[in-house]
Amino acid sequence: MQLLTGSVAFLSEKLGEIWYELNMEADDSGVVRLPILKCELGKTEQHEITLENPSNEDVKVRVKISNT
């Protein structure tokens, strides 16, 4: 198990900035290796992955790739 720290901030025109410090625990998970993604220039390609959600609530996930 890993102990992690972080923060999240919300900005509101009415309330200003609301900031929370996060102290989290995370269980180690196995590595999932995807096959190499190949695509012709000007076209798109994708991988479909499954994420576990133990909360029983719908969650929208956005992906941000920093290594373009």
pLDDT band at 67 (very low <50, low <70, confident <90, very high): low
- Give residue 37's identity as a one-letter amino acid code: L
Inter-residue contact 42 to 22 (CB < 8 Å): no
Ranges of each domain in the chain: 1-27
End-to-end CA distance of the chain: 31
Between 28 and 8, the higher pLDDT residue = 8
And the tokens for 4? Answer: 């992690």
Statement: the pTM of the whole predicted model exceeds 0.75 = no
Give 51's pLDDT tier (boundaries 50, 70, 90): confident
Q: Band of the pLDDT at 4, cuts 50, 70, 90?
A: confident
HSE-CB of 63 using CA atoms within 13 angstroms: 8
Residue 68 has pLDDT above 70, yes or no: no
- Asked if pLDDT for residue 3 goes beyond 70, the answer is yes
